[in-house]
Structure 1
Amino acid sequence: MRFQFFVTFLSLITCISGSAGIAEPVETSLRPIPRPTQITLVSVQSQSSAETIASEAMAEIGQRSLPTLRPRSRPDALARAQSKAGVPSASTNPAGFQSWINAFRGRALAKGISVRVFDRTFAEVRYLPQVVKLDRKQSEFTKSTGEYLASAVSDTRISNGREKAQQNQQVLDAIEAKFGVSKYVVSAIWGMESAYGSYRGSTHIPSALATLAYDGRRGAFFEAQLIEALKIVQTGDTTPDAMTGSWAGAMGHTQFMPTSYQSYAVDFTGDGRRDIWSEDPTDALASTAAYLSRMGWVRGMPWGEEVVLPDGFNFTLASGPKKLPSEWARLGVVPAQGGTIPDHGAARILLPAGAKGAAFLVFKNFDVIKRYNNSDAYAIGVGHLGDRISGEAGLKGSWPEGERALKRAERQELQTLLTRAGFATGGVDGRIGPNTVEAIRGFQRRVGMEPDGHPSVGLLRRLRG
């Protein structure tokens, strides 16, 4: 799946919040893979799919002409390659890879890995050239939020989600009661990450991590993941051959990286193992809820709600100040589905496609979802899919025709042109931060556009002109 900022998960904030909080953008997420970030949506990424390999898998794969948020979002390319050519034997390992293993062995033992566990695991480790190809072929995510949501919250995913939620109702109710996290959000993450467990990935994780660590492009990161994978084997939670997942190292029903697993996975079944690989999704679903709880999930608070903005709305308020829903209501903001929004806490207006697209009022729990995957599109997808699984209606807002996320080079060009026009962006790094948003608004005001701060294709064309 979900697919920029490779960080270890030990640096994530782990406070538990018991009161309504203010929604704030996040800097890191559970995933180390390039992800769509904010509206810029840069990705490889993001990965997964099928309700038996014949039902949901085929239905979802058929819908995936659009990229999704993870390199495993399609049937695992590595698994296909291996099924055709056979799993490589030890004799096919490059000499350099074996030399790396020999050197890594000492580092692993120094980190507390036993000789028995290391040798047992590495007896099965093979160099996987297809993993390197997939890692280097990662492309930018340039579809619009509307196109992404059409795939992420498809009719198939909604109907299968409702069925799975019903089948696992007792477990999900117990998980919600313990961790306070919405069972529908947990179900939605399950659907987004592995098509409700029907496609969890079939790549041998120790081999994939060893290959990527040896490759060296992100060697330190993947070596750290490999050490934690060995520790997981050492504690007996799984065996080396059963440790399978995506080519980039994410595992189980809800796709935990080894470091995240070590910090947040739980044994909810009470069998003595934190088993996220089993056909039984209980531990994986509970681990997801535990993760979100540790990231500050507020019990009873929604992720957000689609809203309609009044004529003459001050778009400089978007993505900016946080106000209670009652305060937004006094400014003319109303729920798209009617009624009123209770004051669950401070919330901000989010315009993922700018002034001409759908608008959302998002609470702190929206940003907690982004701890799982630091992407506005992903968080909207999870929140909206959870709502649909619970029986709520679809979105009413439209999406601008022809709109898409800008590529990194285009974002850099945008910043360069804004600077030349006299609007400082604080640098040309391709990241749309507060300085760039204010620069965009300054230019938009000058030329008579709505100052929504959105880095659109139309804005770039206007700057070029």
Structure 2
Amino acid sequence: MQKRLVSALVALGLGLTSVASAADTEFDQYVEGLKAEARENGISEPILNTAFDGIEFVERAVKADKNQPEKKLTLDEYIPRAVPAWKVKQARDLYQKHKSVLDDIGKKYGVQPRFIVALWGVESNFGRLTGNYNVIEALSTMAYEGRREAFFRKQVMAALEILDAGHIEPQEMKGSWAGAMGQPQFMPTSFLTYAVDGNSDDKIDIWKTQADVFASAANYLHQEGWNDQYTWGRQVKLPENIDSALMGIDKDKGRSLAEWESLGVRRLNGTDLPKVDIKAWLIQPDDRHGRAYLVYGNYQVLLHWNRSHYFALAVSHLADSIR
């Protein structure tokens, strides 16, 4: 939208200063539309005034969205980078440091604590990398930019609802260029659906309160169908003649481990698969020469969190390393 406006103004012969001024004016008008919608949704005037005070169009957020890395690493390249030895050590140390809280939360929500720590590590490097963008400003920018306006506009409204509930002050609501917030990197709508008060202080603080971070991550997994009686899956060895049509995470492609074994699938070391009655899906995210995995329902839950196999496998491998 903004680029179309700038192009039109340039065609009319206006200078760059005039172009920038016109673009700023249109963004300001768009923000007024966001405020009007928020008022209709019941957001208080003091929150609207504070949340939108001084916000501007953030060009670097749009650039970050458009310039995401195009080169795709293989899993053999990616996993060692995503789960290096130093991160494994930190994950183990932090697991022990917070073991009492993690165990309580794990029991309450039916989630193995090692997966909570692994998500924490992959999403934000254990809370160290959470983003420094003003969330309302970033989301308003992305909505105005227009390619995914409906999605980001909905996120703006959800973020304002979080502020109106008093969970965090507007100036402290920081996140990524896309508006992913706090240590678990929840989008605002995910916050409203899954975030919980882990330390019973009547606030949900996924930015600084680790009990809330852990409980919110666990609640997400629980609500999406996590089963703590099982793990996520395993890397496997395939026979050369395996039919690629069998692969994928579609519902109808799930088979028992016994069925996969009858098709020639084995553990990575060549031994038989576990004698467990559980449905599994065969995936090979790179190509026919790359790593292959049998994954369970819990892995499907990780894909609900982030639809990337690379993300889900990084979390899974880190969780296994903690164990």
Provide closer, same or farther for how the CA distance between residues 189 and 331 of structure 1 changes in structure 2, counting only shifts above 3 A.
Answer: same
- Contact persistence 1:145–1:377 (CA under 8 A): yes
Following superposition, the deviation at residue 110 of structure 1 comes to: 0.7
Q: What aligned pairs does 1:135-284 form with structure 2 within 5 A after superposition?
A: 135-278=65-208, 280-284=209-213
Following superposition, the deviation at residue 261 of structure 1 comes to: 0.4
Q: Is residue 259 of structure 2 the alignment partner of residue 327 of structure 1?
A: yes
Provide closer, same or farther for how the CA distance between residues 357 and 230 of structure 1 changes in structure 2, counting only shifts above 3 A.
Answer: same
- Contact persistence 1:128–1:211 (CA under 8 A): yes
Instruction: Tell me which residue corresponds to 1:298.
Output: 227
Q: Secondary structure at the match of 1:371?
A: helix
Q: What aligned pairs does 1:57-456 form with structure 2 within 5 A after superposition?
A: 94-278=24-208, 280-310=209-239, 312-319=241-248, 321-336=253-268, 340-390=273-323
- Contact persistence 2:75–2:291 (CA under 8 A): no
- Contact persistence 2:167–2:204 (CA under 8 A): yes
Q: Deviations over 1:312-337 (max 9, x none)?
A: 54554333743222333344433225
Following superposition, the deviation at residue 184 of structure 1 comes to: 1.4
Q: Distance in 2 between matches of 1:297 and 1:224?
A: 27
Provide closer, same or farther for how the CA distance between residues 351 and 212 of structure 1 changes in structure 2, counting only shifts above 3 A.
Answer: closer
The one-letter code of the counterpart of 1:346 is K
Taking structure 1 as the reference length, the TM-score comes to: 0.60
Provide closer, same or farther for how the CA distance between residues 265 and 141 of structure 1 changes in structure 2, counting only shifts above 3 A.
Answer: farther
Provide closer, same or farther for how the CA distance between residues 132 and 335 of structure 1 changes in structure 2, counting only shifts above 3 A.
Answer: same
Q: Distance in 1 between matches of 2:32 and 2:105?
A: 43
Q: Deviations over 1:393-433 (max 9, x none)?
A: xxxxxxxxxxxxxxxxxxxxxxxxxxxxxxxxxxxxxxxxx
Identify unmatched segments of 5+ residues in structure 1: 1-90, 391-465
Following superposition, the deviation at residue 308 of structure 1 comes to: 2.0
Q: Distance in 1 between matches of 2:27 and 2:260?
A: 59
Q: Secondary structure at the match of 1:94?
A: helix
Q: Distance in 2 between matches of 1:310 and 1:114?
A: 62
Q: Secondary structure at the match of 2:279?
A: coil
The one-letter code of the counterpart of 1:298 is N
Q: Distance in 2 between matches of 1:200 and 1:349?
A: 33
Looking at secondary structure, tell me which structure has more helix per residue.
2
Identify unmatched segments of 5+ residues in structure 2: 1-20
Following superposition, the deviation at residue 139 of structure 1 comes to: 4.2
Q: Deviations over 1:262-319 (max 9, x none)?
A: 11111111000111011x3221121111111111112211110112234654554333
Q: Distance in 2 between matches of 1:175 and 1:220?
A: 35
Q: Deviations over 1:186-245 (max 9, x none)?
A: 111111110011111111111111222222232222121111111101101001011001
Following superposition, the deviation at residue 142 of structure 1 comes to: 2.0
Instruction: Tell me which residue corresponds to 1:14.
Output: none
Q: Which has the higher contact order (CA 8 A, sep 6+)?
A: 1
Q: Distance in 1 between matches of 2:119 and 2:279?
A: 24
Q: Distance in 1 between matches of 2:151 and 2:247?
A: 36
Q: Distance in 2 between matches of 1:269 and 1:141?
A: 42
The one-letter code of the counterpart of 1:348 is W
Name the % identity: 36
- Contact persistence 1:131–1:212 (CA under 8 A): yes
Provide closer, same or farther for how the CA distance between residues 220 and 340 of structure 1 changes in structure 2, counting only shifts above 3 A.
Answer: closer
The one-letter code of the counterpart of 2:39 is L
Following superposition, the deviation at residue 103 of structure 1 comes to: 2.7
The one-letter code of the counterpart of 2:228 is R
- Contact persistence 1:176–1:183 (CA under 8 A): yes
Q: Distance in 2 between matches of 1:314 and 1:121?
A: 55
Paired residue total: 299
Q: Deviations over 1:4-50 (max 9, x none)?
A: xxxxxxxxxxxxxxxxxxxxxxxxxxxxxxxxxxxxxxxxxxxxxxx
Q: Distance in 1 between matches of 2:110 and 2:289?
A: 35
- Contact persistence 2:261–2:272 (CA under 8 A): no
Q: Secondary structure at the match of 2:172?
A: coil
Q: Distance in 1 between matches of 2:242 and 2:159?
A: 51
**RMSD of aligned residue pairs (Cα, Å):** 2.2
- Contact persistence 1:124–1:241 (CA under 8 A): no
Q: Distance in 1 between matches of 2:137 and 2:243?
A: 53
